[in-house]
Amino acid sequence: MRVFQGARRLGRMQVRLQKFLADAGLASRRSGEKIILEGRVTVNGRPVLALGSKVDPMHDKVSLDGRLIKAQKKIYVALNKPVKYVCSHRDDLGRQLIYDLLPKEWQRVSSVGRLDYNSEGLIFLTNDGEFSLRLTHPRYGVRKKYLATVEGEVTPEMLRQFVRGVHDQGEMLRALSARIVTSGHSRSVVELELGEGKNREVRRLFESQDLVVKRLQRIQIGKIRLGELKPGKWRMLTATEIKTLKTLKNLVTDL
């Protein structure tokens, strides 16, 4: 059997076949390798069995199980998630989904990380798996800023403790920075910057000080700010913003 070894046309873009399958929304990189080894993929009518094979998305004809595959157009969206929406494609409790706020034809986009049901603010959605991984994996340490409205008075010593770190449920929770915006006996507003996305991390930090967060809003991811985007509204990320996010280095380990 002749094995296709990939396009070699001078000056044309080539990508690994596993990446092409992932970009088309048909498989993850790992499951794509399995599909290739099973002999289910052909390029220009020839079977592909080599995992290092490359294709030219603009000119090669890639088929899976005899069906022609077309690469998806990459979508990068910034959404101001309202409270009482969930970041899932379905919900057994019948709650509102963030995907209900987007055009119906964007069926393959997924949220980059999550905000819980009672949290609000900036969240990205995309069909680019590598982009999502870069913004969510702890090794990249992408910084995120939050505004927390807290019931009760927050003291500078509490914030110093947040930066030193708090042990909770076997995890170390830590803010990279924290500052009091306003503080009073009954209500305080605090800005926190985090480098990881542990489950309910901001709320758990305040719970460690017997304080309850009444409102939690994410206002920034990397260098991208929520700005004037209204709750429930979305916008496309600009090419410059996408490039900035894709090239972020691990800022946490550089401190």
Any catalytic annotation for residue 56? no
Report the distance separating Cα 84 and Cα 89, nearest Å.
15
Report the distance separating Cα 230 and Cα 55, nearest Å.
41
Which residues neighbour 194 within 8 Å (Cβ) at sequence distance 6 or greater? 143, 144, 145, 146, 174, 175, 176, 201, 202
Catalytic one of 60, 65, 116, 254: 116
- Residue 32: C-alpha distances to residues 19, 183, 233 (Å): 8, 53, 34
For the annotated catalytic residues, the residue numbers are 116
